[in-house]
Amino acid sequence: MNQQTINMIEGKLYATLDEHRFLHSRSVAFTAATLAMRWYKGEMDRVMIAGYMHDCAKCKSIPEMLSAAEEWDIFNITEFHIQNPQLLHAMVGPAIAQAEYGIFDREIHDAISTHTTGAPKMSIMQKIIYVADFIEPVRDTVIKHIENYREAAFTDIDKAVYMIAQSTVDHITSKGVPIDPVTVATRDYYKKLIEERDGISL
Ligand code: DGI
Ligand code: FE
Ligand code: FE
């Protein structure tokens, strides 16, 4: 990725995100780049851009997020997402990417919108961003046995997706906050995929 592109994206992100979120976003971009070296045959820059951009809506207010979604025709936002704004920042990310950064790449948009819940049948770019968000090295949340997720990310990315989705289901359930059905569907899909592929029961 050339320096001009990095400066443009980092400059804009720095202006909108808090310090920690900015460092996390850069860390996801470079972690995604290393995963792309292992798993992605396409152009590396697009994966890095998706990594940089995945949380671009994170520090916006709910009204700002909703008006961007309306302006850019993002229809699949429900009352559930509004009640759980942690989910909203992923859904409206593509709107912000278009409005503020001129990024119209559909594959990048998909990677941004599924980075929190995952989804069944993700593209390799979607999986890379979903996994990189979880394993990147500057995250401040403590994740038990993070080394196991990091190893799986480079040896069996579908397994890594399953492990992360399961951990998210467990985390959300233990907190007692409402779980997005897509989060559960992601866990179910990748669990079944590994079970059928390996002839095991997880
Ligand atoms: O934005 P990040 O902090 O980098 O991470 P993220 O986008 O993966 O997750 C943001 C938050 O969303 C995190 O605290 C976990 C939460 N989350 C993930 N899945 C669900 C969820 N929250 C609810 N209510 N329901 C979910 O299914
Ligand atoms: Fe996020
Ligand atoms: Fe993130």
Dump pLDDT digits (tens) for 95-151. Answer: 999 999 999 999 999 999 999 999 999 999 999 999 999 999 998 888 999 999 999
What's the mean pLDDT in 18-35? 98
User: pTM above the 0.85 mark?
Assistant: yes
**pLDDT at residue 141, as a whole number:** 85
pLDDT at 157 over 90: yes
Give residue 101 CA to ligand 2 midpoint distance, Å: 18
Give residue 201 CA to ligand 3 midpoint distance, Å: 31
Instruction: Count how many residues are written for the chain.
Output: 202
**pLDDT at residue 99, as a whole number:** 94
Of 81, 167, 168, best ligand 1 pocket probe by most atoms within 8 Å of the beta carbon: 168
**pLDDT at residue 21, as a whole number:** 97
Per residue, what are the HEC states of 106-153? HHHHHHHHCCCCCCCCCCHHHHHHHHHHHHCCCCCCCCCCHHHHHHHH
- For the chain, the average pLDDT equals 96
What's the mean pLDDT in 43-49? 95
